[in-house]
Amino acid sequence: MKNAMLTVKPGLTWLSRLSLYIAGIGLVAMTVIVGWQVFGRYILNDSPSWSEPLSLHLMSWFIMLGAAVGVRESVHLGLDVVRYVMPPAIQKAMDLVSLGLMVVFGMGMAYYSVLLAMGTWSATIPVLGWPGGVDFFPMILGGAMIALFALERFIDVAIGEDVAADILVQEAA
């Protein structure tokens, strides 16, 4: 299993970095679009109608991609108070249960987002002219990536690896 993980990790590292860069570009793009909207509203007295729905769509993308990377890098929110007072074997079991639930959650989010996308595909986002189902693409990809990265961490914990990510996040004590 360790050899298989060593084979897969470079691809997952690449996917994680790519997701982070795309999320960063989306954040910058959203900031520029909102800046243009404010400029148009207060300076030109003509606010662009497309800026708000496009900004919200970009926000969905960078939130979901960032959340998936957060799962891989182990920087997601967690309540670890009880975990730290338990013996190591119980800590490992708690980690496996938590990561297993994250895998199930990510798969469920992706699956039900596909259903939502299919159900709203015939609707149109008025200002953008896109099919309504496009709004669920970030949740589909984000859910799948959350499941994938949580599964990677699950396997790492199960085989005794310390960290799935290529950087070690130090917690402030």
User: So where are the chain's domains?
Assistant: 2-159
Q: pLDDT band for position 15 (50/70/90)?
A: very high
CB atoms under 10 Å from CB of 82, counted, come to 10
Express each pLDDT in 69-123 by its tens digit.
999 998 877 777 888 889 999 989 999 999 999 999 999 999 999 999 999 999 9
Above pLDDT 70, what percent of the chain? 93
Above pLDDT 90, what percent of the chain? 77
In the prediction, which pLDDT does 79 show?
Answer: 75
Report how far residue 46's alpha carbon sits from residue 49's, in angstroms, rounded to the nearest whole number: 9
In the prediction, which pLDDT does 156 show?
Answer: 93
